[in-house]
């Protein structure tokens, strides 16, 4: 089982090896455009669907047909998530103190 990432679904005997499992391409593009803006997204990944009259619909059409571009977008999304996790303070769910 080397190299597989264990998650809560392990309790059910399942392994999740794809961190993007269950996340649609539309959700990824929307999150990236919300976070970076279309200009910022076009600067990070220089493809026309992000730089020339960008929209979610045109981006999805291109990315579904172009595996190398989709890989870049998915990679940027994972990078964005890592950066957001690093910049946010850890949340501890300690029980409230007893009176």
Share the mean pLDDT of the chain: 84
**Separation in Å, CA 76 to CA 13, 14, 43, 68:** 30, 26, 12, 13
59 part of a folded domain: yes
Q: Please report the pLDDT score of residue 91 as a whole number.
A: 63
CATH of the domain at 36: 1.10.720.30
The rounded distance, in Å, linking the Cα atoms of 15 and 4 is: 7
50 part of a folded domain: yes
Mean pLDDT for 53-64 is 96
The rounded distance, in Å, linking the Cα atoms of 3 and 92 is: 28
Q: How many domains are contained in the chain?
A: 1
Q: Please report the pLDDT score of residue 90 as a whole number.
A: 65
Which residues constitute the domain of residue 42? 24-84
Helix (H/G/I), strand (E/B), else coil: 46? coil
Contacts of 18 (CB under 8 A, 6+ apart): none
**For residue 20, is pLDDT > 70?**
yes
40 part of a folded domain: yes
The rounded distance, in Å, linking the Cα atoms of 57 and 81 is: 23
Mean pLDDT for 4-24 is 67
| pTM score, whole prediction | 0.72
């Amino acid at each position: 089982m080397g190299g597989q990432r264990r998650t809560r679904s392990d309790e059910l005997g399942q392994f999740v090896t794809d961190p993007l499992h269950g996340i649609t391409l539309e959700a990824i593009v929307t999150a990236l455009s919300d976070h970076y803006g279309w200009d910022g997204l076009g600067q990070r990944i220089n493809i026309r669907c992000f730089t020339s009259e960008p929209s979610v619909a045109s981006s999805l059409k291109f990315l579904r047909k172009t595996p190398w571009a989709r890989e870049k977008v998915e990679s940027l999304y994972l990078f964005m998530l890592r950066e957001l996790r690093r910049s946010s303070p850890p949340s501890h769910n300690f029980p409230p103190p007893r009176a």
